[in-house]
Amino acid sequence: MRAIFMIALREYAENAKTKGFWIGLFLFPVIIFASIAVQRLLEDSTPTRHFVLVDQSGAYGAEIREDIDRAYRSSVLMALNGYALEHAVNPPEAKEIDLEETPPIDMAEMQQSIESHMGPEMGAMLDEEGIESMLELMSAPFDGLVEDRPEFEMPRPAFLEVPLPKELNADASVEELSEELRPYLRGEKTIVVDGEEVSLFACVLLPRDIQDFVQRPGLMADLKRAKALQDKVDAGPDAKPVRRGGQYWGSNLADSDLKNRIQRSINKTLQRRELETRGLDVAAVAAVNDTTLRLSALDPKKEEGKEEVSTADQIRQWAPVGFVYLLWIGIFTISQMLLNNTVEEKSNRIIEVLLSSVTAGELMMGKLAGIAGIGLTMIGVWMGSLVGILGLSAGPEAEFPTMLLEVLTGSGLIFWFVLYFCLGYLLYAGIFLAIGSLCNTIKDAQNLMGPVMLIMMVPIITMMFIPKDPNGTLATILSWIPLYTPFTMMNRAAADPPMFDKIGTLVLLVVFTLFTLVMVGRVFRAGILRTGQPPKIRELLSWMKP
């Protein structure tokens, strides 16, 4: 026992000194922290998008501008709300939101509903005075605002229209305009706004004849469209299209917010006008359109009266994916350490000195225990930092970390994670140890590692599918393969798998792990002093016989 402890102690101390260990230790908290910070950072750092709008038809310009303003007003309102909560005398406790009772929120839907209330009349309220009274109103439920608080800063607008460059003629044809705007869009030329040079993000060109391109439902219209498409194909790729209707020019394909917004605005305007020409009551139709009936998502597995799928349920469903990944990274990293230092001992022949002092069994147990200590330290720090960072960033204005923290600490996920980590580690570390004992060089080891790597890739590939059907055939089959039990069962942990699966796979995993370790012990004893080429399979099997 003493020898095992001494070996474990050395393994721990020496591996804890390696750079890899420290990088692994800190990388995870840094990633967690970054991914939370990055969301805010992205919002702050996405520059204001400058665009040019040329509406020769005069049909949609005003409405598009109003919609862009509306979006800005709503972002000001959100910022005001956040500011009021942050600097309130008695800010609301985050805990007051009961996630178990809260249905999942559709953020896009919520934003649209806020925007619908941000009509032009709100614009007047967003002057200095308006903001004061708005803040007062918002902070009233929380006993007003604290005295020493920073000045409220107006958020940057997401989109800002800039005038057409002076040398361009707004009445020129759309083709000419787009040709002349190209250098601006490519960043070759800049536009001066308020004495500052800005590059043009996009330009929107609405030609005089834009109404000709309105598409209406109906068979004839569909046929016409099909014909046009056919003509285009027949003309070949080189033919220059003559007329395009409304155009959005922008070189950033990834950020389509502006395009979507303008598209929506045009359609809304068009549809409203259609209603008017048909003599329908626009307000009534809008009211009808906003009339909804919510379909509750219910889970039959939950207890009676609490069947409604809540936000917490959704997080619980997906959080395990993160854990599976951590499990995989953790097990793989430290098993690799074990492999490396076993090969080092072998190639340095330190192994002989060790074996003149301790038995091969003690050596193996010591190494397993020492590296297990490294692994537990690592996941301990990971879990601690996860809870810590979430705890720090949790608060009334950070809903997601709060929810995540609560779900993590409230469910058994961490318990299962640690359990599966230990068992998975023993299983894979055992296999790696056996491989290490057979190889004299890292190169030999890498050859033998090939198949093991392939086997280990499976959980990573299936990781994203399993939550969609956590108790399906694939998940069940994988769960019963001991090599995959830790990953798959971790993946399914949230979906409340049948007790039979839970206990059965666990028992199988424990038995299989013990069996593997006994076999590994035999291979280790025989292989550790061997020099030269790794043994043949038949020789290996003969070692495994007691």
Q: Where on the chain is the footprint of other proteins (CB under 8 A)?
A: 2-3, 6-7, 10, 14, 17-18, 344-345, 347-350, 352-359, 529
Q: How far apart are CA 536 and CA 543, in angstroms?
A: 11
Token pair for residue 530? 């061997």
Q: Which is nearer to other proteins, 171 or 352 (CB)?
A: 352
Token pair for residue 206? 């609405």
Q: Which is nearer to other proteins, 185 or 343 (CB)?
A: 343
The answer to whether the beta carbons of residues 176 and 227 sit under 8 Å apart is: no
Q: How far apart are CA 342 and CA 473, in angstroms?
A: 39
Write down the least CB distance from residue 6 to other proteins, Å. Answer: 5
* C-alpha distances in Å from residue 488, one per residue of 386, 472, 482: 22, 12, 10
Write down the least CB distance from residue 447 to other proteins, Å. Answer: 22
Could you tell me the sign of the dihedral formed by the alpha carbons of 473, 477, 479, 483, in that order? negative
Q: How far apart are CA 258 and CA 299, in angstroms?
A: 38
Q: Which is nearer to other proteins, 11 or 63 (CB)?
A: 11
Q: Which is nearer to other proteins, 16 or 419 (CB)?
A: 16
Write down the least CB distance from residue 352 to other proteins, Å. Answer: 4
The answer to whether the beta carbons of residues 164 and 54 sit under 8 Å apart is: yes
Q: How far apart are CA 525 and CA 544, in angstroms?
A: 10
Write down the least CB distance from residue 526 to other proteins, Å. Answer: 10
Write down the least CB distance from residue 24 to other proteins, Å. Answer: 17
- Give me the residue label for tokens 């806020």: 114
Q: How far apart are CA 338 and CA 344, in angstroms?
A: 10
Closest CA to 351 of 340, 339, 361, 342: 342
Write down the least CB distance from residue 338 to other proteins, Å. Answer: 15
Q: Which is nearer to other proteins, 278 or 538 (CB)?
A: 538
Write down the least CB distance from residue 350 to other proteins, Å. Answer: 5
Write down the least CB distance from residue 27 to other proteins, Å. Answer: 21
Q: Which is nearer to other proteins, 199 or 347 (CB)?
A: 347
Q: Within a 10 A sphere around the Cβ of 47, how many other Cβ atoms?
A: 11
Q: Within a 10 A sphere around the Cβ of 224, how many other Cβ atoms?
A: 13
Residues 6+ apart with CB under 8 A from 265: 60, 63, 64, 67
Sheet arrangement for strand 159-161: 159-161, 49-55, 202-206, 247-250
Q: Which is nearer to other proteins, 185 or 351 (CB)?
A: 351
Q: Which is nearer to other proteins, 15 or 513 (CB)?
A: 15
Write down the least CB distance from residue 351 to other proteins, Å. Answer: 9
Token pair for residue 250? 């922008």
Would you put residue 194 in left (φ > 0), alpha (ψ -120 to 50) or beta?
A: left
Helix then strand then coil, % of the chain, to nearest 5: 65, 5, 25
**Which residues on adjacent β-strands are paired with residue 82?**
none
Write down the least CB distance from residue 432 to other proteins, Å. Answer: 19
